Structure 1
């Protein structure tokens, strides 16, 4: 063991103590996703914990799909999970495992419980089982089928396996204690009947073990030493240990719980994400408005930024709500160092410099990053007709407004100082042109005895390439939508705002030349953006805003309605 490992959380302390007791201990953990949805940022916390521990303690980490419910599972989820783990930079030990590989062994362990009088075939309906289980304040009562003989249960369980019962007609339950103060110990269901083809075993089985039964036994079969899970499984540990104790397993893993990740303004429940998809509130599992790993990746988050986030939030036993700004800080910190600086105009309004000839054209060399010369430079074109952001001009006088307005001067980024003198409007009273004077003696010079004017970005009309810009805001307008019974009521109507404007032509040409390029940009004064590799075409580039230049999101400005823009 690496004796230099610091006790930086309670999991490390437990493992260090285990190694102190047994110098020859082999550390063996696993990441056990259910293939019924895409991975999210909460899974990333578990992935980083399990795989990093395996690396630090020179152990092993399995990838095991707990595939015990074919009704909700899909091979596309398996493929996406494998991709996400590789994308984060981790590699599991050996071959991928599936709980379904152990179905025969699990069936034999279930038979063993029957032979010991610790399991019985119940024929109550689901509703009756729920009723008989009682509540947190009232004890449960025994099923009328609880006292069947071992021989009866053996025969009935075999009939279940052969498909001689219909779905819901029978199940196998553990015989523990219907008066237990822990609901999970009130004769939990171990097996149920499902007539659905399984993605791994096809039609070989029609009875499937429950997660709690399969999980602990799969851990044992694989020789897992430290089974790490989130706090909602804390009570389930009693069942975990009961099953191991009452079957003839040769290896006893130990379960340890840590707090799950809860993120502000987000839903992490796969069931609720599925509802959002089914109701067309979001488009798919990779929608950038939800914190699935595929959604975050599409939004422009990198593996290193997600790992940094998981490192910063740490591992504790205290449930808390993590600020969204912390996640944004991690990617902003990285992109500030790595993103190419360029100019883009999202809501263009035309500027005409009347004192320049229509053939006037200059080329300026500008840095790709102001603090990193190694990132190189690129050329921009300056002509008498430009585009600026509509929000960078105000027609009515406003003393506090520090950008372009009639009679005032501003500097064009990397270029000259200009002054707005008049405007032109169309028949609908919309401004279509701002007429300005260009001070040609101001390139690279500060005004004498005057304060520097405000600086705005721009693109020459000759240097434009049309683009679509998707501005993402939190999907929900309350901090903890997970706790709301009707979470759909709290959808943010401005979670996606689409703009159509321009980027620099040279940048577009670079992207078109490398169609699959992972392009990250800081559009100056606007934010950090990435190319959407799914919806972008050579003649139609789409950019997703990853994060603002600083934490400027304001909840008070966000509207509410049941269906968001998409």
Structure 2
């Protein structure tokens, strides 16, 4: 067992370590098997980190993790989803090392296994309607009623199954069912459907097939075909495990994988259903799968979330067999923790009000040094141009400041970040009573020096030169839902969408920010962490920044 495996010490890694030490398996082969019917979300990140992480930790024994697309339903799958999934897995830092597979590559194998079951008398073609099949399955209190076709001759089912494959049946006219136990206390075992007719082209096989295996039938066969040793699934598949094992036992498979279940990731203020996420997209509540408010990995990436923070978050929450809900604040903590260490600082003003330094000569300008990252002194400082007029945040000035307000006010001093100490000597108001301009004087010889004797200056504020700064579109993103459990909202999850989850402002930013590349992350000093939008930001032409997360948890105060 590797040191990394020991340090994580969850029950799945313990099982794998025991299997390796006992010689049951010479190596470990896991898989991440998404259905390409939507974009991956943060919940999938937990499964990705688990499956690929185990392979990485046991690389010394030749372990590997397969990326496999469970593409058995052509009506819901698209190439767009396949490509997005590959991109997301790679973005998180994992490599499938050439082990990329598609369930659709095994369609002939699935078909042969189905034929083998028919020949053993363990499967039959059922011509009941879908409604009749559902009705006769019974419920938890009532056993199912056997289909009138359950005991049809093997040769007849073989012939009908061949007709299904040839396209002689319409959708819903016939299915292939496993013959197990209609009185089983486990509803999954009541003669489950294993093949159905779908007359839709497949993204990988085209029109070659018009019958498709059900997920529960295909999944164990895929695992066996790829010699998967440990098939790691979330807890909702626990009830399906008996059928998984039944398929492995009765079909001609080359290996016997073991299914192990773990608790899925649930987050507060988040929905984790691809169906619900698709609803948000289709109904226009968000601007696509990669909307920065979405919990999709592409949305989190566009919002500026570092992949390292997601991996660390998945490691922190760990692997258990007990369902629960994790506070999204923990994910936000990991994001802040990473960005606080790694992100450089830049100055931007989101709600600008103009300051005029009356004793600073018109036409004059100079460069001042501003530290790039206080957490990493080795990254040095940068030159920022300062002139007579500049922008500051509106809430950094108060006409009648309270006692503990240390920023700018009448006859008060404040330091410009990296620059001079200035003093307010007056201000102008508009007809609406809002401050339109603040008049100040700068104190010479105070750049990089303590305040002169008799001058009280207890705060430094960020600023942007009115002459040399740039204008940028800044999108202030917040949580998409107002309730901790949107799934449980009385009016449905759409009813608790946060109307303030996106606000757009035109900000003033220091000149260097206009030229950064898309996905460049930084802290806007005193405001939060931001990223240049990977789609809309055009360096030097159209600066667009997304807020990743604030400097602290503002929702904790609301609670």
**TM-score tier after normalising by the smaller chain length:** over 0.9
2:436 is matched with which residue? Answer: 432
Report how far residue 188 of structure 1 moved.
1.2
| TM-score (structure 1 length as normaliser) | 0.93
1:383 aligns with 2:387: yes
- 1:412-561 matches, cutoff 5 A: 412-440=416-444, 442-443=446-447, 444-446=449-451, 448=453, 452-484=457-489, 486-509=492-515, 511=516, 515-516=517-518, 518-537=519-538, 538-554=540-556, 556=558
Classify the secondary structure of the residue corresponding to 2:505: strand
The CA deviation at 1:325 is 1.7
2:37 aligned with 1:36: yes
- Per the alignment, do residues 371 and 91 of structure 1 end up closer, same or farther by CA in structure 2, a change over 3 Å counting? closer
Identify the residue that residue 159 of structure 2 maps to in structure 1.
155
C-alpha change, 1:503 and 1:39, in structure 2 (3 Å) is: same
Question: Structure 1 residues 68-77 or 293-302, which shifts more?
Answer: 293-302
Using a 3 Å threshold, how does the CA distance of structure 1 residues 479 and 137 change in structure 2: closer, same or farther? farther
Q: Secondary structure at the match of 1:470?
A: strand
Residues 477 and 555, structure 1, Cα contact 8 Å, conserved in 2 = no
Is residue 41–residue 292 contact of structure 1 (8 Å, CA) maintained in 2? Answer: yes
Q: Distance in 1 between matches of 2:187 and 2:454?
A: 78
Residues 63 and 93, structure 1, Cα contact 8 Å, conserved in 2 = no
Partner of 1:46: 47
Match of 1:305 in 2: 309
- How far apart are the structure 2 equivalents of 1:447 and 1:453? 13
Helix, strand or coil: the match of 2:225? Answer: helix
The residue that corresponds to 1:207 in the other structure is: 211
Q: Shift of residue 554 of structure 1?
A: 4.8
1:450-491: per-residue Cα shift (whole Å, max 9, x none)?
654332211121221000111111101111223447110110
Deviation at 1:144, TM superposition (A): 2.8
Question: Would you say the 8 A contact 1:341–1:367 is kept in 2?
Answer: yes
Classify 1:247/1:500 alpha carbon distance in 2 versus 1 (closer, same or farther; 3 Å). same
Alignment CA distance shift 1:24-1:494 (3 Å): closer
Report the counterpart of residue 272 of structure 2 in structure 1: 268
CA 1:98 to 1:442, structure 2 compared with 1: closer, same or farther past 3 Å? same
Deviation at 1:272, TM superposition (A): 0.7
The 1:503–1:209 alpha-carbon spacing in structure 2 relative to 1, beyond 3 Å, is: same
**Corresponding residue SS for 2:476:** strand
The answer (yes or no) to whether the contact 2:65–2:99 under 8 Å persists in 1 is no
Query: Is the 1:267–1:290 Cα contact (8 Å) retained in structure 2?
Result: no
RMSD of the alignment, in Å? 2.1
Q: Does 1:122 align with 2:126?
A: yes
Question: Retained in 2: the 8 A contact 1:364–1:381?
Answer: yes
More displaced stretch, 63-72 vs 152-161: 152-161
Map of 2:371 onto structure 1: 367
Deviation per CA, 1:493-520, whole angstroms, max 9, x where unpaired?
11111111111113324x2xxx45x411
> Cα deviations across residues 237-266 of structure 1 (Å, max 9, x unaligned)?
011001111222232110001111111211
| Superposed displacement of residue 531, structure 1 | 0.6
Deviations 1:397-429 (A, max 9, x none): 544544323343322222233333433233444
Tell me the distance in 2 between the aligned counterparts of 1:400 and 1:555.
20
Cα separation, partners in 2 of 1:225 and 1:198, compared to 1, 3 Å: same
- Aligned with 1:180: secondary structure? coil
**Quick one: structure 1 residues 140 and 483, their matched pair in 2 at CA, closer, same or farther if it must change by over 3 Å?**
farther
Aligned residues: 552
Superposed, 1:337-356 pairs within 5 Å as: 337-356=341-360
In the alignment, the residues of structure 2 paired with residue 265 and residue 290 of structure 1 have an alpha-carbon distance, to the nearest angstrom, of: 11
1:63 aligns with 2:67: yes
Unaligned runs of 5+ in 1: 558-566
The aligned counterpart of 1:564 is none
Counterparts of residues 94-133 of structure 1 (less than 5 Å): 94-133=98-137
Residue in 2 aligned with 1:562? none
Q: Distance in 2 between matches of 1:136 and 1:260?
A: 25
Shift of 1:155: 1.8
Query: Quick one: distance in 1 between partners of 2:324 and 2:456?
Result: 48
Name the SS for the 2:467 alignment partner: helix
Q: Is the 8 A contact 2:20 2:26 kept in 1?
A: yes
Q: Is the 8 A contact 1:42 1:262 kept in 2?
A: yes
- How many Å apart are 1:174 and its aligned residue? 1.3
Is the Cα–Cα contact under 8 Å of residues 227 and 254 in structure 2 kept in the other structure? Answer: no
Cα shift at 1:360: 3.6
Distance in 2 (alpha carbons) for counterparts of 1:530 and 1:239: 47
Distance 1:135 1:405, change over 3 A: farther
Q: Distance in 2 between matches of 1:240 and 1:387?
A: 65
Q: Report the CA distance between 1:334 and its aligned residue.
A: 1.7
The structural deviation recorded for 1:165 is 1.0
Post-superposition offset of 1:85: 1.6
Q: Answer whether contact 2:79 2:203 (CA < 8 A) is retained.
A: yes
Aligned match for 2:335, one of 313, 331, 337 = 331
Cα deviation for residue 225 of structure 1 reads: 0.8
Aligned counterparts, 1:181-330, within 5 A: 181-330=185-334
